[in-house]
Amino acid sequence: MPRPNTTAAPPRVSLMAAGELRDALTAIEQGKGPAAIAALMAIDPTSWAAIQDRLTVVIGADLRALLLKTAGEPDTTPVALH
């Protein structure tokens, strides 16, 4: 019996995770660090992997590197955070 095509689909960002990411970025912009951390921690692992993958493709860095760059701090992010 032939096996179906089992190519793994790339991870997807859930609607809830997209909202949490938006809330985190808004909290960062407003200087509300604890709220930003809480929102980031609420993102499920599959969505987090998808967010990291997309950021790497689009900007060549992960979220931490992007935030540090935006804040004007030196990028000390390790090469692989997965």
Instruction: Convert the pLDDT of each residue in 25-44 to its tens digit.
Output: 999 999 999 999 999 999 99
If pLDDT is split at 50, 70 and 90, which confidence band does 9 have? confident
**Number of helices (H), then strands (E), in the chain:** 4, 0
Least confident of 14-18, 26-30, 33-37, 74-78: 74-78
Mapping DSSP to helix (H, G, I), strand (E, B) and coil, where does residue 10 land?
A: coil
Instruction: Report domain extents, the chain.
Output: 15-70
pLDDT exceeds cutoff 70 at 6: no
CB neighbours of residue 16 within 10 Å: 12
pLDDT exceeds cutoff 90 at 72: no
pTM above 0.85, yes or no: no
